[in-house]
Structure 1
Amino acid sequence: MFFIKHFIIKICYNIKRRVCTMNLDKNEKRYNSKLFRFFDLLYRLLVLNIMTIIISLPIITFFPAIVAMVSTLKYDMSETGIFKPYFRNFKKYFWKSFWMGLALLICFVAGAYAYYFWINVETNLAFMKIIIQIGIVVISICVLILVLLVSHLPQLICIFKDLPNFQIFKVSFYSSFRYFLTTLIMLIVNLVAYGSLVIILTLIFTSKKIDEETGKTVLAVHSSVRIMLVIWTMIGISLPKYLGLRFTKPLYYKLEKIDMEKINQQIEEDINNEK
């Protein structure tokens, strides 16, 4: 009787273990399926995009929010949650990215003001017209250099987080010309991410009609523009950034292998030896 009871218990135990194993296998297959991974990625991109937009509303926090997004996309997409890694990265890179973003903002505002000033100068003197043209060309070149710098800065801040800001600017300037194909890809990414918003806002504020009842001019936003705005709010920044990081992964992987501290120490030693 004891052996029969023991035999029945053993059979039940094996059946239970087999059922649990089958359930685990089913869950594992479900979690590893392409469809599940796609929707999981879409959810993460959506959350990252919305959080970045909300945090960027004060404007001065725009660049830290972008750096936090890039760091999360680059290093933390395999984690279970997405909120905690994002805010951890936002806190981690805040001050470094804040001061760099503030410097870039001041430069862009100064460049826009200078361009507006030179473009509106009226003169009949041929010499002054030449000066104005030179000024416009110089300002355009400076703005272009700033745009090239911005294309690599968020990624380089995440890679060389211990470098001083000026050194990161130098590395970004060098990378912009040395790896021009990667720079071009990142420029396209930024153009899609931010240029699309400019186009949408332009369409919104230029879509006007006269109200027949009041006779006043009111906004008449087309439904397609509203759909575009919703899509941009959901994945307008995060999706281009994610694709950009995927396409440029070999370059930034190579840069991650560079020990900038050793290079700086070697330069300092060479300078001291020359003295």
Structure 2
Amino acid sequence: MKKNLKNLIACFCIAVTTFSCTKATEELTSNEITPDVIASIKSMGFSTSGITAEDGGYIVEGDIFIPAAELKRNLGGQLLRVGNTEQYRTTNLVTGLPRVITVALTSKIKASVYGPVLDEVVRRYNAQGLQITLQRVTSGANITFDNASGSYLASAGFPTASGNPHNLVKVNTRAIGSGTSAAFINYAATIFAHELGHCIGFRHTDYMDRSYSCGGAVSNEGASTVGAILIPGTPAAADPNSFMLACIGSGVNRPFNANDVTALNYLY
């Protein structure tokens, strides 16, 4: 998640997978942002504006982590767009339902501050009665929240081809801050829940136009190999309160709204 100082907007770096790049003939051995990297990111259906190199891959769209090794892979994705602002999913989803997905904080994240945040994320998802149930554990989790630094609030990846959730959410706790108030817990839980949404296959609600929540220029990502599939039943009109919008104002709480609940129940 990035912070837009001009508009006081924090952009969700819900980096859904980190894709590192390897060239076939000229294999990429670093995270250099070459024309090939840019072309590969565009072919996957992501904006090429503001790409940043990250350990093992790249951060795109402010919060989505793409592993370098995934850049050249054809994921056989689909693309369906109706309107400008709806819920979208990736081609890969979590399978083996019903399923318990375990979540945990690493020792690098202060449990006294962020433990209640993760508990609130678990509560929000489990209150929907989905076929995926979140369970907080101390180690060996399916999805681990780890501390990180960078020009984003958090980042995560998308589900694997084998049907598992992305296993890592990087959280910039220094940028998010700390606190014990309900307001802080709800704000941080919105960021965590957003990133976990990427881990189970959600793209940004304003995928077609990130300027809707982030400001700046209108962006149209083009074709997609990772998948940008409209979730039936979600609105064709703008949705200003979805938890999967790309950017969020500082201190804002976005619990699941009616359209988010429709999307969650359709997928899981």
- TM interval, short-chain normalised: under 0.3
Q: Which has the larger radius of gyration?
A: 1
Greater strand proportion: 2
| TM-score (ref. length: structure 1) | 0.21
